Amino acid sequence: MTTPVPPGPPYGGPLQAQGGHPWAPPPGPRLRSLRGISLAASLALLGVMIAMVGWLFGARANAEALGGAQRRSRPWLVLGWIVPVVWFWFPYQVVADLWTAEETGRPRPGLGLVRVWWASYLVWFAATVWGGYASFAGVEDEFEQIFAGFGGLIWFTVPGLVTGALLIPIVLGLARRHRLRLNPAAPAPVAG
């Protein structure tokens, strides 16, 4: 049980000196651990995002070499992930266009896997935004109770892991199809 914090000025006071919000109760050990895990996860996510954008540029070059139509110009490979509002559908369109980029007259693969990946990404995005809002909106007691009662980071980790797991066959499938289409004489890799 935490003690109520008396109202104070918006900036300053003893809690701000300790690194906390001036009106929030001091964080407990579980919340401090959660913040550390959250920081580590955020740094890992930043690395994944940089790798993903790099991969998108390479896959885009392959798709253009195959003559596939692309709805978004190259700057949207990056901006689509960070510009508010369009981040809900531009990245999906970029990956869907890469997935279906083939020469005309060839059958196009279905978008089922890409759609499921994007739906899981949106669930993860919503869970992450809600968690960020809850942790910074001064409801740290409630936030700590939610995590203690529902198994910690599972609510944020599971959608992220599902999203990452679904991205693996997309990346590998695109790489395989592009490699075969751009260099049909190359031998297929042998699974070992």
Q: Provide the whole-model pTM.
A: 0.68
Rounded CA separation 59/170 (Å):
11
Digitized pLDDT (tens) for each residue of the chain, 192 residues in all: 555 555 544 444 444 444 555 555 555 666 566 667 667 777 877 888 899 999 999 999 988 888 878 899 999 999 998 999 999 999 999 999 888 876 555 666 788 999 999 999 998 888 777 765 555 555 455 555 555 545 446 667 788 888 989 999 999 988 888 888 877 776 656 655
Q: Where are the domains of the chain?
A: 28-182
Q: d(Cα 106, Cα 99) in Å, to the nearest integer?
A: 13
Q: Are 74 and 187 in contact (CB under 8 A)?
A: no
Closest CA to 99 of 24, 167, 27, 152: 167
Q: How far apart are CA 156 and CA 37, in angstroms?
A: 12
